[in-house]
Amino acid sequence: MNIYTKTGDKGTTSLFDNKRVSKDDIRVESYGTVDELVSFLGLAKNYMDDKEIYGIIQEIQNKLFTVATNLATEDKTKVKHHIVEEDIDRLENIVDEYMGRLNNPTGFIVPGSGKKSGYLHVCRTICRRAERRIITLAANSEVDPKVMKYMNRLSDVLYALARYLEEEEVKVEYR
């Protein structure tokens, strides 16, 4: 089986429900940015020696396929898997756990005092961009509100994990 179909040679692609759209359509931008996040999380987890955090990242990667499927499908009757409130609760519990381990710090830090935290901070910023793309999509199309809520909480998780993994806390010095 060839992976090339040649159907996108003129700048269009198929959504999950087979509707063809331009490759720069905001829907494609939104799930494409989620795909970028999944890939970067794949890189980041390879620097994790903490099995718990590795497992959290793997769990998130899998859940992001549900997010992407929802975003890549215009006909909502064809979506088989959904983000549910328990998924959001899970993210909130992770944030509470890891920020609690740090005694709930405040103030800005310079991100990335080590590779682990650095990669997760990049993941956080990609997640925020995905969230912005999804909000733009939602202004023109129906988007499951739980997908938007999940992405918002996910950036908090990535921040909490990155902050937890900082090798040293470098406070921002405004000059």
Q: Which of 34, 91, 67, 75 is nearest to 145 (CA)?
A: 67
Query: pLDDT, tens digit, for every residue of 16-65?
Result: 666 776 677 889 899 999 999 999 999 999 999 999 999 999 999 999 99
Q: What is the DSSP letter of 22?
A: E
Query: pLDDT, tens digit, for every residue of 61-87?
Result: 999 999 999 999 888 888 999 999 999
Does residue 42 belong to any structural domain of this protein? yes
Does residue 108 belong to any structural domain of this protein? yes
Contact present, 160 and 133 (Cβ < 8 Å)? no
Q: Count up the domains in the chain and report the number.
A: 1
How would you class 5 by CB atoms within 10 Å of its CB: exposed for 0-12, middle for 13-18, buried for 19 or more?
exposed
For residue 154, the domain's CATH number is: 1.20.1200.10
Does residue 99 belong to any structural domain of this protein? yes
Does residue 138 belong to any structural domain of this protein? yes
Query: Element (H or E) spanning 36, and its range?
Result: helix 26-45
Query: pLDDT, tens digit, for every residue of 75-129?
Result: 888 899 999 999 999 999 999 999 999 987 877 888 888 999 999 999 999 999 9
Domain that holds residue 127: 20-72+82-165
Both tokens assigned to 24: 């720069």
